[in-house]
């Protein structure tokens, strides 16, 4: 099942874009109802030794939908976003503020902070929500 309403995800890559054949095969096998969970996309990237961006592009080219962002920002039902603002402890806030680029935090930096401080990824995004800091540059290309 592919996206039927609105612009196709594939359109953002142009008409000449091609998917890695191995990625395409893997994604087609694991997709459920035209959807692929963020965590599963990262597993495929790891297994195939491809970048998350390449997997995200393949998902787009298949016009599949990315679901269940590990930062809680999109792909949940019935709400699309599940992360709730939560005031961070001082160490987390300092780590976030120290990684900002143009007052925004990239997805990969959020993951890095979560790993370094041994907290869930959604704890970092919840802190960003409370601090009014926008998360950018999804590693899969969703935002």
**Per-domain residue ranges of the chain:** 9-67, 71-143
Using a pLDDT cut of 90, give the percent of the chain over it. 85
Q: What is the predicted pLDDT for the residue at 105?
A: 98
Whole-model pTM: value is 0.90
Residue 1: predicted pLDDT: 44
- Hey, is 66 helix, strand or coil? strand
- What is the per-residue pLDDT across 22-80, written as a single tens digit (0 to 9) for each? 999 999 999 999 999 999 999 999 999 999 999 999 999 999 999 999 999 999 998 89
In this prediction, residue 136 carries a pLDDT of: 98
What is the pLDDT, as a whole number, of residue 40?
98
- Phi, psi (5° rounding) for residue 35? -125, 145
* Distance (Å, whole) CA 75 – CA 66: 7
Nearest alpha carbon to residue 54 among 17, 28, 29: 17
């Amino acid at each position: 099942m592919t996206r039927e309403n609105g612009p196709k995800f594939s359109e953002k890559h142009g008409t000449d874009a091609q998917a890695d054949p191995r990625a395409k095969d893997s994604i087609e096998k694991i997709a459920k109802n035209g959807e692929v969970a963020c965590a599963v996309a990262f597993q495929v990237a790891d297994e195939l030794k491809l970048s998350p961006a390449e997997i995200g592009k393949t998902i787009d080219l298949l016009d599949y939908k990315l679901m269940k962002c590990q930062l809680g920002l999109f792909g949940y039902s019935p709400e699309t976003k599940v992360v709730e603002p939560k005031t961070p402890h001082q160490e987390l806030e300092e780590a976030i503020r120290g990684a900002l680029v143009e007052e925004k935090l990239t997805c990969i930096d959020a993951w890095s902070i979560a790993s370094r401080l041994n907290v869930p990824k959604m704890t970092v995004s919840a802190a960003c929500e409370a601090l009014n800091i926008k998360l950018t540059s999804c590693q899969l290309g969703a935002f």
